[in-house]
Structure 1
Amino acid sequence: MSKFAWVTLATNDRYALGALVLAASLRRSNTKYSLHILYTDGVSASMKSQLFSIFNNSTKVNILDSNDSQNLALIGRPDLGITFTKLHCWRLIEYEKCVFLDADTLVIQNSNELFQHPEFAAAPDIGWPDLFNSGVFVFVPSKETYQKLVEFGTQHGSFDGGDQGLLNQYFSSWRTMNESHRLPFIYNVTPGSIYSYKAAWQLFGSQVKIIHFLGNSKPWNFQDPQQGQHWEYWRQIFDEDVAGNLSKDLVNFGQRKVDYF
């Protein structure tokens, strides 16, 4: 078994759809590392069977919730408290090193080189570049680190109510670490930033490796209007690699407009 793994999290069937497409995109990129899914009781039995069929390994985890409605209101995302559940990834001590990818990310090109980075490595957040975005990060599993993160969260909470605020507070030295801890933006590109800086996209777009569908609107929300080539690529992978293995009710589920979390 590989000592390295890609890790993601599904807390319900909507994010499980994202995880399935993410896994398919990793396989299309010819990654040589294992795929590991964390899932909760919010994922249905039929969806779990699909996850188990495409991911090499899986771990059921309990929901961790920040219960921080005040700070979550500041960013307009009351759903993100549940993202504390992501902390369980540090418990995967069967691996030497992992890369966590949110279920709303999509791998465009092979990114195996991420495993050469140390813990903790992440890309700057477009909203505040002195902070990192927690949708993609390199970490080293450790029960000790997991316990410290949980204790830190219990004592200090999160400035935004979600995992990103907590992780930025815990790994507060990230912005002053050497460059190996600072992932290039090509590993966590948000579609909104593409359209706001078209000149940069024209110059660097071919180098993009991982797309992050940040915000309320997700590509599995099939009733959304067309939003560019990467949304189309996500839906292409869904149609070609995922939908054919899903029961009719899950395919229909993926095409309904739904709430998040």
Structure 2
Amino acid sequence: MTDQSFVTLSTNDSYARGALVLGSSLKQHRTTRRLTVLITPQVSESMRKVLEKIFDEVIMVDILDSRDSAHLALMKRPELGVTLTKLHCWSLIQYSKCVFMDADTLVLTNIDELFEREELSAAPDPGWPDCFNSGVFVYRPSIETYNQLLHVASEQGSFDGGDQGLLNTFFNSWATTDIRKHLPFIYNLSSLSIYSYLPAFKAFGANAKVVHFLGRIKPWNYTYDPKTKSVRSDTHDPTVIDPQFLTMWWDIFTTNILPLLQQFGVVKDTFTAFNAEEVTNAISHMSIGDLSPPPQPFVSSNERKERWEQGQADYMGADSFDNIKRKLDTYLQ
């Protein structure tokens, strides 16, 4: 269907890797809709060529050079740079309806049925369910809506400093008006939800359709061993998601994306660009992130308890998913 599209955004080469895996996952599950990615000038020329292999449209958005009200809004609210870039998805009026997905999401099955929903359809945010999470939402491109959003951004800003606060302010009736615009949580399963309500994840997690890698640490920041197909992190991330989803992300990356990055010189080595198995076996352990977290200090039992109460458990260490699961299984069997 040529008048409908999935849309994502990449502001640099790291997030472009996420966008590539997202686009590949949509294709893998045979979407019939077009794929569009908005990019900023920070995305390298070689990475743009790779994006063109996955997406039907690669559209440059440079609000610093724009002549519309986005530039004026940026001058007034410089902290909303990325947010104002994301709002450009409403300017894609060549499409009648779109589904926006953040570059740190991964599709687990065909989700074309989302196009049956109306604007603005989204799933609840796990941190404040009366707000929707803006990582996945259904919308209708419209220059009128676009300009209205820019006006709100310029005059009111965003209560959380990002696009989610702004969009919840604009679509402020989402929580109470039409339940049909509330997407089931399985369309935006966030990393936070697994540990905050593990029994529900055990009961319903298998039905997940979209995984959202929330948090500071993204899939491309992890270290992956293609021989064992295992993922590890050198940091203690309180919002880490279940390892099975991270492994899925890396499987798609090494199989479908890495050969393209080789072909266009984004990743350089001496191996044949199209031989994904040879390339991945040659890279015994690889990480494409640019994050080098500092070593974590010793945490006493009292400090650990306080961190749990603050929602900052050590999910990659003592409080790992497997350890929590084993403990709960003793009660749930």
Amino acid at match of 1:26: L
CA distance in 1, matches of 2:31, 2:208: 16
Q: Which residue matches 2:67?
A: none
Taking only aligned residues, the RMSD between alpha carbons, in angstroms, comes to: 1.9
Secondary structure at 2:31 match in 1: coil
The Cα shift of 1:250 comes to 3.0
Residue-pair matches, total: 248
Q: Which residue matches 2:250?
A: 235
8 Å contact kept, 1:67–1:161: no
Q: C-alpha deviations, 1:86-139, integer Å up to 9, x for none?
A: 100000000010000000000011111100110011110000000000000000
Q: Which residue matches 2:96?
A: 96
CA distance in 2, matches of 1:193, 1:250: 34
1:15 aligned onto 2:22: no
Q: Which residue matches 1:106?
A: 106
Q: Which residue matches 2:57?
A: 57
The Cα shift of 1:28 comes to 1.0
| Larger of the two Rg values belongs to structure | 2
CA distance in 1, matches of 2:60, 2:162: 21
The Cα shift of 1:81 comes to 5.0
CA distance in 2, matches of 1:246, 1:186: 31
Distance 1:256 1:243, change over 3 A: closer
User: Which of the pair has the greater relative contact order for Cα pairs under 8 Å at 6+ separation?
Assistant: 1
Distance 1:259 1:148, change over 3 A: farther
The Cα shift of 1:197 comes to 1.8
Distance 1:257 1:17, change over 3 A: closer
CA distance in 1, matches of 2:206, 2:288: 32
Q: Pick from 241, 246, 250: which aligns with 2:266?
A: 250
CA distance in 2, matches of 1:81, 1:216: 18
Show the 5 A alignment for 1:41-190.
41-63=41-63, 66-68=77-79, 82-190=82-190
1:225 aligned onto 2:232: yes
Runs of 5+ in structure 1 lacking a partner? 69-79
8 Å contact kept, 1:34–1:56: yes
8 Å contact kept, 1:159–1:166: yes
Q: Which residue matches 1:72?
A: none
CA distance in 2, matches of 1:256, 1:117: 36
Runs (4+) of structure 1 exceeding 2 A deviation are 63-68, 222-227, 247-252, 254-257
Secondary structure at 1:211 match in 2: strand
The Cα shift of 1:84 comes to 2.8
CA distance in 2, matches of 1:12, 1:221: 14
Secondary structure at 1:53 match in 2: helix
8 Å contact kept, 1:119–1:181: yes
Secondary structure at 1:6 match in 2: strand
Show the 5 A alignment for 1:201-212.
201-212=201-212
8 Å contact kept, 1:90–1:141: yes
The Cα shift of 1:203 comes to 1.2
